């Protein structure tokens, strides 16, 4: 069915598909129809091709479908012999996905994949649905493949004591795109963030570790960096990724032969000036950014408060889960408000393509809230947290309904701080919500 459809689609069909914007869904394994063996074979090929980027040991961690015992033994051996090479920094993160109401039955078209060192969001282009294609299948496989190859490549480079080249993200996204497009028809925007350790020389004899964030953005998904200003005691928007588009509401997108070449439209960026103690990252699909400006996320970035009358000097979110849920829900309800003058409506009028546009833009929404932390730090005890990625498949509660939980979380932190100060350990065996 797919191959004949591709033959029949002319350029006008392709253009109309690309121009219509819609969103994505998370990498829940139960939603995938792609076999793990196929992905493993692809990973092996990609890592061999990436040897110039991550050293000659890239293939060392690739699963061997024919010899699981040998694979486990080799992996255990590598881990034992390279403990000193473990990463100094990692992401603490949470993802929430709210599909468009009409797409919840299939999980939407947005996709996200996350780990300690990668945050990836893709937004499947909804116009494909008019041709009987579910673009969510392509976006899901795309993010999962990027994550799989990225994690393996970064681990292999660490094992070999090699540095990843600056083109590593471009390489793995390009090859993941080509592979995913062979498996599924569709196209998607895509944002990928990779966290690396950066060794900085302080003197001829001393060095220190600083986090380095490499990113690659294709289209109108994106990310923002929010820094807490200890003087004003409020967040500032430090950075927002640039939208890549051919014109308004016509973003650059991946999709193999049905999309753009990542090397032509991908925007790479490197951040070396991050401050883990005061910086929060938000990665999003356009379902969020079309209805909220980055500074409007700040109301959801609720912090653990220090002692009364003491200023905040280091950021600790009350709950990453609560914050991501808050941003996603705000965007969801604003997107359905016909009287709301949304960023999308304003942009449409300014561009001239939608001169009379008003209201929000109801779409799939993906929000990732993250912070860079020292890898050896213990996980925070967040009773609001259940899974790294939460996908809404039913009704969506209002933001106001979340306030009692926020008060409960804040009270919990206050109680824990008091117990810690009294040298009274707190029992963290709390139920997940």
pLDDT in tens, 301-310: 999 987 777 8
- Calculate the dihedral angle through the C-alpha atoms of 225, 231, 234, 238, rounding to the nearest 10 degrees: -20
Please report which confidence band the pLDDT of residue 418 belongs to, taking 50, 70 and 90 as the band edges.
low
d(CA 1, CA 4): 6
d(CA 239, CA 349): 25
Give the residue-averaged pLDDT of 143-158.
95
Indicate the range of 21-35, 217-231, 235-249 predicted with least confidence: 21-35
For residue 266, the model assigns a pLDDT of 98
**Residue 358, SS3 per DSSP:** coil
pTM of the model: 0.81
> Domains plus CATH for the chain?
2-32+86-142+174-197+207-399 (3.60.40.10)
**Largest distance between two CA atoms of the chain:** 72
Are residues 217 and 191 in contact, defined by beta-carbon separation less than 8 angstroms? yes
| Nearest residue to 316 via CA among 92, 127, 96, 141 | 92
Tokens of 47: 């890592």
Tokens of 56: 């000659």
Higher pLDDT, 353 or 74: 353
Tokens of 126: 């909804």
Higher pLDDT, 347 or 429: 347
Scan for tokens 């092996």, then name that residue: 44
For residue 308, the model assigns a pLDDT of 73
d(CA 286, CA 366): 8
What Rg, from alpha-carbon coordinates, does the chain have? Answer: 22
H or E element at residue 339: none
Pairing status of strand 389-391 against strand 89-98: parallel
Helix, strand, coil fractions of the chain, as percent rounded to 5: 40, 25, 35
* pLDDT tens digits along 33-69: 444 455 555 555 555 455 544 443 343 333 333 444 4
Give the residue-averaged pLDDT of 101-116.
96
Q: Has residue 385 got a pLDDT over 90? A: no
Are residues 111 and 188 in contact, defined by beta-carbon separation less than 8 angstroms? yes
Please report which confidence band the pLDDT of residue 313 belongs to, taking 50, 70 and 90 as the band edges.
confident
135-160 helix and 168-183 helix, angle to the nearest 10 degrees: 140
Please report which confidence band the pLDDT of residue 292 belongs to, taking 50, 70 and 90 as the band edges.
very high
For residue 310, the model assigns a pLDDT of 81
Q: Has residue 344 got a pLDDT over 80? A: yes
Q: Has residue 3 got a pLDDT over 50? A: no
Angle at 204 between CA 203 and CA 207, to 5 degrees: 55
Q: Has residue 22 got a pLDDT over 70? A: no
**Mean pLDDT for the chain overall:** 82
d(CA 28, CA 25): 9
For residue 336, the model assigns a pLDDT of 98
CB within 8 Å of 326: residues ≥ 6 apart = 299, 300, 302, 399, 402
Tokens of 406: 């926020």
H or E element at residue 70: helix 68-81
């Amino acid at each position: 069915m797919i191959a004949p459809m591709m033959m029949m689609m002319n350029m006008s069909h392709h253009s109309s598909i690309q121009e219509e914007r819609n969103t994505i869904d998370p990498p829940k394994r139960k939603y995938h129809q792609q076999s793990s063996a196929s992905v493993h074979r692809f990973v092996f090929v990609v890592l061999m091709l990436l040897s110039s980027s991550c050293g000659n040991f890239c293939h060392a961690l690739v699963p061997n479908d024919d010899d699981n015992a040998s694979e486990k033994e080799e992996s255990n051996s590598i881990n034992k012999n390279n403990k000193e090479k473990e990463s100094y920094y990692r992401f603490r993160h949470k993802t929430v996905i709210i599909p468009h109401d009409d797409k919840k039955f299939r999980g939407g078209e947005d996709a996200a994949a996350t780990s300690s060192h990668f945050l990836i969001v893709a937004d499947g282009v909804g116009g494909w649905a008019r041709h009987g294609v579910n673009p969510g299948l392509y976006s899901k496989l795309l993010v999962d493949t990027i994550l799989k190859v990225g994690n393996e490549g970064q681990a292999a480079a660490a094992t070999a004591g090699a540095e990843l080249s600056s083109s590593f993200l471009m390489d793995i996204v390009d090859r993941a795109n080509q592979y995913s497009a062979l498996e599924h028809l569709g196209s998607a925007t895509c944002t990928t963030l990779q966290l690396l350790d950066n060794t900085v020389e302080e003197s001829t004899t001393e060095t220190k570790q600083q986090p380095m964030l490499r990113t690659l953005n294709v289209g109108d998904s994106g990310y923002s960096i929010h820094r807490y200003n200890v003087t004003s005691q409020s967040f500032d928007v430090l950075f927002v990724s640039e939208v890549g588009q051919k014109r308004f509401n016509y973003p650059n997108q991946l999709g193999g032969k049905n999309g753009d070449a990542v090397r032509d439209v991908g925007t790479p960026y490197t951040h070396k000036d991050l401050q883990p103690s005061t910086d929060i990252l938000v990665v999003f699909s356009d379902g969020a950014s079309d209805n909220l400006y980055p500074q409007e996320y700040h109301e959801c970035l609720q912090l653990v408060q220090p002692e009364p009358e003491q200023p905040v000097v280091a950021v600790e979110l009350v709950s990453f889960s609560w914050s991501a849920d808050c941003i996603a829900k705000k965007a969801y309800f604003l997107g359905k408000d016909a009287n709301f003058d949304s960023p999308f409506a304003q942009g449409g009028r300014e561009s001239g393509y939608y001169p009379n546009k008003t209201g929000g833009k109801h779409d799939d929404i993906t929000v990732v809230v993250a912070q860079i932390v020292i890898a050896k730090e213990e996980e925070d005890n967040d009773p609001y947290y259940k899974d790294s990625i939460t996908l809404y498949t039913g009704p969506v509660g209002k933001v106001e309904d979340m306030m009692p939980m926020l008060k409960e979380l804040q009270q919990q932190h206050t109680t824990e701080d008091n117990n810690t100060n009294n040298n009274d350990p707190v029992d963290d065996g709390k139920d997940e919500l």
